[in-house]
A and B are shown apart, each in its own frame.
Chain A
Amino acid sequence: AQSVTQPDIHITVSEGASLELRCNYSYGATPYLFWYVQSPGQGLQLLLKYFSGDTLVQGIKGFEAEFKRSQSSFNLRKPSVHWSDAAEYFCAVGEYDAGKSTFGDGTTLTVKP
């Protein structure tokens, strides 16, 4: 069975600082990995995805993530956070790109002025 762990429930960073959100997954085969963002009262928006190939993937809004098979990780990064990035972030793993996804518990990002 697949699972996702997001170790940080809540992270606070200052505007302009760098950000890294952690994600560890458990899956026997090559995983399909996703990061989503959810603003309060809104749906989930896909930030980026990894299916194969280059392990560093670029997404929307200046986010990137790196797939590290040896560490079973898919951490999300942004070099300079903006106040509008405050939201909840979910990592997810799937068996294939159009299959069921299993989501982590989410990390709430607060941005200090």
Chain B
Amino acid sequence: EPEVTQTPSHQVTQMGQEVILRCVPISNHLYFYWYRQILGQKVEFLVSFYNNEISEKSEIFDDQFSVERPDGSNFTLKIRSTKLEDSAMYFCASSIVGSGYTFGSGTRLTVV
């Protein structure tokens, strides 16, 4: 069964450093998303991406965040200058019309 692949599974970074979280969506999917889940809290929408541009973003997705689909297969989330409160599980998802989301298994980001 097709999967969404996320790397790395766990990343530890120092406050103020830049991190890039990587995702390989399912190949025929057209819509891509990033969600995050702070430990013990609900899953929160960050951004959706379609046709090589952001289609919607949340208030969380401020100027320190950016997304890119650099080569037609990868989908990345960059956090420019990490803060302690960015520590969370970050989930990538992809979909096509009618499918619902397929989520990756997540990247646990720890900012120290």
Contact = CB atoms under 8 A, between A and B. Distances in A.
Given A46-B100, A97-B98, 6 more contacts: A43-B103, A43-B105, A44-B91, A100-B33, A100-B45, A103-B44
**Looking at B4, B91, B95, which has the most chain A CB atoms within 10 Å of its CB?**
B95
A62 B108 CA distance: 30
B100 A49 contact: yes
Nearest to A95: B56
Interface in B64-110: 91, 95-106
B101 A101 contact: yes
A42 interface: yes
A18 interface: no
Contact of A90 (B4, B43, B45, B95): B43
A46 B45 CA distance: 16
A49 B102 CA distance: 12
A104 B101 contact: no
B45 A102 contact: yes
Contact of A43 (B41, B48, B97, B104): B104
A84 to B, nearest CB: 18
**Looking at B31, B42, B44, B58, which has the most chain A CB atoms within 10 Å of its CB?**
B42
List of 4 A-B pairs having minimum Cβ-Cβ separation, nearest first: A43-B105, A103-B43, A43-B103, A98-B31
Given A45-B103, A46-B102, A100-B48, A105 B97 contact: no
Contacts of A45: 103
Contacts of A42: 105-106
22 contacts: A34-B101, A42-B105, A44-B91, A44-B103, A45-B103, A46-B100, A46-B103, A51-B98, A90-B43, A97-B95, A97-B97, A97-B100, A98-B30, A98-B99, A99-B56, A100-B48, A100-B56, A101-B45, A101-B101, A104-B42, A105-B41, A105-B42
